[in-house]
């Protein structure tokens, strides 16, 4: 049976690596993202279907999911981070982090679960972060939202475990993506350090002293999609070189 894998934020970075890895396993790939150019490029490479939608525009996002029909694998990869001291955060910052990192995943699960339940099979993988397992300074809203995503994962897993559906979170550490590039630039701008020094400081947060590669995250996702992973649910799996 050919599985259909729907990946949000699937055009670049971790999402693209996951799409490539699942395609290599024979899955039919469907992508949702905001960057139409990047989506077209990745979709063309993989022979994938795609829709342009923002996961925080919930009505449009639901329509995009519905356009693909049912999916067997849902990877909620779309997310975003906001970095500044807590004293400079306002409630809108917390809401925006919850919107993209939690409620987008909630919306996708609500849309995908009926089809999975009808087939007694499904794999839901939420791409969280080590920020869902520990604290980091200057990203309080992001950390709160990723902790919420991990909690949602654990709770939903208990509701679906008897239906052939697994729900897990994969929690990467600092990964070599555009998001880390932007974080490095932000640190450099605010501290006067070079971008390379900032990048090395992020890499040094784990014992290996290096950034995680997107392909390493994709391998964890691919494993959770396998039939042999059917007893693994409600877990938050760190891909972080021993950081947590």
Catalytically active residues, by annotation: 142
Among residues 12, 204, 130, the alpha carbon closest in space to that of 196 is found at: 204
The contacts of residue 57 (CB under 8 Å, 6+ apart) are none
Task: For 230, list phi and psi in degrees, rounded to 5.
Answer: -70, -20
- Residue 191: CB atoms within 10 A of its CB come to 11
d(CA 23, CA 50): 14
CA distances from 229 to 98, 114, 135, 143, 152 (A): 29, 21, 29, 28, 20
């Amino acid at each position: 049976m050919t599985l259909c894998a729907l990946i949000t934020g699937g055009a670049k970075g971790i999402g693209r690596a996951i799409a490539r890895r699942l395609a290599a396993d024979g899955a039919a790939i469907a992508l949702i993202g905001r960057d139409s150019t990047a989506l077209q490029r990745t979709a063309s490479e993989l022979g994938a279907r795609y829709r342009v939608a923002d996961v925080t525009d919930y009505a449009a996002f639901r329509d995009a999911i519905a356009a693909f029909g049912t999916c067997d694998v849902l990877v909620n990869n779309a997310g975003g981070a906001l970095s500044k001291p807590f004293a400079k955060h306002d409630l809108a910052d917390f809401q925006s982090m919850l919107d993209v990192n939690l409620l987008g995943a909630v919306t996708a699960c609500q849309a995908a679960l009926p089809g999975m339940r009808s087939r007694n099979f499904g794999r839901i993988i939420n791409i969280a972060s080590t920020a869902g397992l520990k604290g980091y300074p200057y990203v309080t809203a992001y950390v709160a939202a990723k902790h919420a995503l991990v909690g949602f994962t654990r709770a939903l897993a208990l509701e679906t475990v008897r239906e052939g559906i697994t729900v897990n979170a994969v929690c990467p550490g600092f990964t070599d993506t555009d998001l880390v590039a932007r974080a490095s630039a932000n640190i450099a701008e605010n501290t006067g350090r070079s971008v390379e020094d900032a990048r090395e400081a992020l890499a040094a947060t784990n014992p290996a002293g290096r950034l995680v590669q997107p392909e390493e995250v994709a391998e964890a996702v691919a494993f959770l999609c396998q039939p042999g992973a059917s007893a693994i649910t409600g877990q938050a799996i760190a891909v972080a070189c021993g950081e947590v």
